[in-house]
Chain A
Amino acid sequence: MNRRSTKLVALGATAGLAALALAGCAPAGDGADGSGDTTTITWWHNGTGEPLNSFWEDVAGEFEAEHPGVNVEVEAFQSEDLQRTLIPNALQAGGDAAPDLFMVWAEGEIKAQVEAGYLKDLSSLTDVVESVGGAGTGWNVDGKQYGIPFRYGIEGIWYNADLFEQAGITEIPATFSEYSDAINKLAASGVSPVGVGAGDGWPAAHWWYQFAIKTCSPESLTKAADTLEFDDPCFVEAGENLKAWMDEFDGDLPFQSNPTSTPAQSVPNSSAGLLASQTTAMELMGTWHRGEVAKLVPGAPADNPPAPEWLSWMPVPDIEGASGAPGAALGSGDAWGVYVDAPDETLELLEYVMSEDVQTRFAALGEIPTVAGAEAGITDPVLKQIAEGTVNASLVVTWLDTQYGPVIGQAMNDAIVNLMFGDGTPESVPEAMNAAAATL
């Protein structure tokens, strides 16, 4: 073998291996394949569990049957992985690596993707945009619609009706002082009244959010979201109100012991698990909680576990004398966004996924739909209550960490947990938010 051929073989082998390695890294892309006959649409969602995973597969199959030559590749990923790692990396890689249809979170979360020019403006899909009504507001950036919510609802207090009865609570509390009475009765009956997964930060932070939307006027909230300046005194007042409420009780109350080591969901010792095993009587959480609790009920079947019969829901009571809008609620949902260079058929798929028929079947699985008319599919009485509560809320404020974006969100959540269970002060929460905003 002469010098040249040795070199060539070495180079060839190296290049070949590198090419193989790199080819292996590139996911199947969108657009037409080599033959030019088939269009492939990639669709990423967060329905990793059943029945959702199979449901989205079925919907994709139905669309393929109606659209010969279109191939839909559906993949499910855990929410945080999807939102924090997979989608940003795929969008940054661009081209074939980016998914065509994928989940987007509202307001501050979607903004960076819009600013980088990765999302298609969906405003032209007027029927779809109108069908979701006010729920779509959070995905409207600078007057253009970049996401269509498929799931939307307000959070409330999930409670155990049996434990309420045992503790002698006959009326659902309508004000915070009635709510405190209920907590005392539950504690006297030997149950931990309220469970909170402060180990994950955000479940505890939602308590402060609730006090903030009930303490701050809608104008103050809008101004803070627009300017990302948190100097309005109502933010300090919200922390004072929260702390004053927590200090009303003896010992660890109103929350269970060791809240800062309790995760939010997925495992038996999470706050969802404590509610499911009837150790705690209540938990403040979003619409998805029905499914989380059902999964963690001791002895629940692995596939499609039913929600326990005692699981009930009530809106968060109003705080007497607070200057926030009465009936204001906290909530949001998950939406579909479309990659800027996605094939045109993706919009047709989106229209199909958001059709009243698909949304009605989605609702029948125990979800809260967004399309008007699809609520007919809701069979669960608790979810019906949440859907009504969402429609009746005087104002739905998006989760504050979603609204202000992840950087401020994380600093705010950490400061709130520190205020509730550490040595933080009511002032330290807006201070941390302002400091985080300064790094943006």
Chain B
Amino acid sequence: MTALDTAGPAVTAGPAPSRNTKHSARRTTRKWGEISLFAGPAVLVYLIFVLLPVLLAAFYSFFNWNGLGPLDRFIGLDNYTRLLADPVFHRSVFNNFFIIVMSLLIQGPLAILVALLMNRPLRFRGLLRALIFVPYVLSEVTAGLAWQILLQSVPPNRWGPFDTLLRSIGIENPPAWLADQDVVMWTMFGILTWKYLGLAIILMLAGLSGVPEELYEAAALDGAGWWKTQWYITVPLLGPTIRIWAFLSIIGALQLFDMVWIVTGGGPLNASSTMAVYMVKNGLNVSQIGFGSAVAVVLFLISLVIALVYQRFALRRDLAGAITGGVR
């Protein structure tokens, strides 16, 4: 073993400074060798499949390029000015933010409420938890296709399954869930809530299990009722969980693509388009790689800014020392 050849004597009167430096240099080298051995492949894959495409997209966005032949039509910021002037893109950005705001206002509180109810001794609690989680496990494509078929109606002679159900309980003229421009985003929000509420509830339940039992006992001794206990003890202690859930929810809403693509394709008349749907429709589907790349860059920048701002302000306590450099 080569290590033996280079090892110093076992006992010395005290290492000379030069040898010490040599030793530590060797240790550093070895450390870096190990790091590159174990992390190298992952870093390489990350560079090739994540960082390089991001940089290439930024580069392509300055060209009018259809994906074929050489990149020889530099057009500067034209793709960006065209994109920022397009009302369909504005609508798409609005729709992403609509989903973010509605998720925070409706999905989050709903998940906390259900989690609080399910955290009490209940019959069939395990079964209920599993059932609530089922939609999250289904693939987006399967769930999307199912919802598309359930909601599609052709009145007056072929009502979809969902509308048939509504009519059986006396709602004669249900809205055109997927065809009405004013309704379609609410429908999408409903489907997304059905799909992702389970995840939120499971996260909240996990958070609840971390609340110390003694606090509840103390509150009970002080005579606090159930609501007061939840409001003053549980919800504040759920803070880190809520903040992480909200972060996942915001990033998910910004990337929203598959469910919309399957259920509405961004329609009717682009009313349910999101930034990612807009990117695929106007970039990939029509071979405008340069323009699509510009959309991707804008989507990336919006996501990056939101993520950084959120981490800096909302997550600073939760992530102390990890990302924000030890804010106390």
- A1-B1, A199-B268, A279-B157 known; A84+B285 contact, CB < 8 A: yes
> Which residues on B sit within 8 Å (CB–CB) of A192?
154, 157-158
In the bound assembly, the distance between CA atoms of A200 and B48 in angstroms comes to 35
Which one, A85, A200, A257, A258, contacts B265 given CB within 8 A? A200
B22-36 vs A, Cβ < 8 Å mask (1 yes, 0 no):
000010011001101
In the bound assembly, the distance between CA atoms of A190 and B157 in angstroms comes to 8
Q: Kindly provide the distance from the CB of A116 to the nearest chain B CB, expressed in whole angstroms.
A: 3
Which one, B26, B264, B285, B288, contacts A261 given CB within 8 A? B264
A1/B41 in contact, CB under 8 A: no
In the bound assembly, the distance between CA atoms of A280 and B154 in angstroms comes to 10
Interface residues in B285-299 (C-beta closer than 8 Å to A): 285-288, 291
> Which residues on A sit within 8 Å (CB–CB) of B44?
14, 17-18
> Which residues on A sit within 8 Å (CB–CB) of B286?
406-407, 409-410
B154/A5 in contact, CB under 8 A: no
B68/A91 in contact, CB under 8 A: yes
> Which residues on A sit within 8 Å (CB–CB) of B64?
439-440
- A6-B30, A88-B67, A269-B148 known; A260+B267 contact, CB < 8 A: yes
Which one, B3, B6, B269, B285, contacts A418 given CB within 8 A? B269
- A92-B68, A418-B269 known; A14+B152 contact, CB < 8 A: no
A4-36 vs B, Cβ < 8 Å mask (1 yes, 0 no):
011101110110011001000000000000000
In the bound assembly, the distance between CA atoms of A184 and B45 in angstroms comes to 63
B158/A260 in contact, CB under 8 A: no
- Smallest Cβ-Cβ distance to A438: which chain B residue: B82
Q: Kindly provide the distance from the CB of A196 to the nearest chain B CB, expressed in whole angstroms.
A: 11
In the bound assembly, the distance between CA atoms of A117 and B70 in angstroms comes to 11
> Which residues on A sit within 8 Å (CB–CB) of B69?
112, 115-117
In the bound assembly, the distance between CA atoms of A92 and B268 in angstroms comes to 34
In the bound assembly, the distance between CA atoms of A125 and B29 in angstroms comes to 65
Q: Kindly provide the distance from the CB of A90 to the nearest chain B CB, expressed in whole angstroms.
A: 11
Interface residue A267 (Cβ < 8 Å from any Cβ of B): yes
Q: How many residues of A contact B (CB 8 A)?
A: 59
> Which residues on B sit within 8 Å (CB–CB) of A268?
149
Which one, A14, A21, A88, contacts B287 given CB within 8 A? A88
A406/B287 in contact, CB under 8 A: yes
Q: Kindly provide the distance from the CB of B296 to the nearest chain A CB, expressed in whole angstroms.
A: 15
In the bound assembly, the distance between CA atoms of A18 and B281 in angstroms comes to 33
> Which residues on A sit within 8 Å (CB–CB) of B153?
257-258
- Smallest Cβ-Cβ distance to B45: which chain A residue: A21
A273-288 vs B, Cβ < 8 Å mask (1 yes, 0 no):
0100101100000000
Interface residue B311 (Cβ < 8 Å from any Cβ of A): no
Interface residue B156 (Cβ < 8 Å from any Cβ of A): yes
Which one, A17, A257, A439, contacts B41 given CB within 8 A? A17
Q: Kindly provide the distance from the CB of A204 to the nearest chain B CB, expressed in whole angstroms.
A: 11
- Smallest Cβ-Cβ distance to B176: which chain A residue: A258
Interface residue B66 (Cβ < 8 Å from any Cβ of A): yes
Q: State the majority secondary structure of interface residues on A.
A: helix
Q: How many residues of B contact A (CB 8 A)?
A: 54
Q: Kindly provide the distance from the CB of B212 to the nearest chain A CB, expressed in whole angstroms.
A: 46
A410/B285 in contact, CB under 8 A: yes
- Smallest Cβ-Cβ distance to B30: which chain A residue: A6
> Which residues on B sit within 8 Å (CB–CB) of A63?
none
B56-84 vs A, Cβ < 8 Å mask (1 yes, 0 no):
00000000101111000000000000100
In the bound assembly, the distance between CA atoms of A85 and B284 in angstroms comes to 7
A84/B158 in contact, CB under 8 A: no
Interface residue A148 (Cβ < 8 Å from any Cβ of B): no
> Which residues on A sit within 8 Å (CB–CB) of B2?
1-2, 5
B285/A406 in contact, CB under 8 A: yes
In the bound assembly, the distance between CA atoms of A112 and B286 in angstroms comes to 12
Q: Kindly provide the distance from the CB of A41 to the nearest chain B CB, expressed in whole angstroms.
A: 22
Interface residue B230 (Cβ < 8 Å from any Cβ of A): no
B287/A84 in contact, CB under 8 A: yes
Interface residue A160 (Cβ < 8 Å from any Cβ of B): no
Which one, A10, A88, A260, contacts B269 given CB within 8 A? A260
Q: Kindly provide the distance from the CB of A189 to the nearest chain B CB, expressed in whole angstroms.
A: 11
> Which residues on A sit within 8 Å (CB–CB) of B41?
13-14, 17-18
Which one, B149, B156, B267, B281, contacts A199 given CB within 8 A? B267
Interface residue B207 (Cβ < 8 Å from any Cβ of A): no
Q: Kindly provide the distance from the CB of B125 to the nearest chain A CB, expressed in whole angstroms.
A: 38
Interface residue B178 (Cβ < 8 Å from any Cβ of A): yes
- Smallest Cβ-Cβ distance to A21: which chain B residue: B45
Pairs A–B under 8 Å by Cβ, sample size 10: A10-B33, A13-B37, A18-B41, A21-B45, A259-B179, A260-B267, A261-B178, A261-B179, A279-B154, A410-B285
Rank and list the top 9 A-B pairs by shortest CB-CB distance, nearest first: A260-B268, A116-B69, A6-B33, A258-B179, A261-B178, A261-B179, A269-B152, A406-B286, A14-B40
Chain A residues near B (Cβ < 8 Å) = 1-3, 5-7, 9-11, 13-14, 17-18, 21, 80, 84-85, 88-89, 91-92, 112-113, 115-118, 190-192, 198-200, 256-263, 267-269, 274, 277, 279-280, 406-407, 409-410, 414, 417-418, 421-422, 439-440
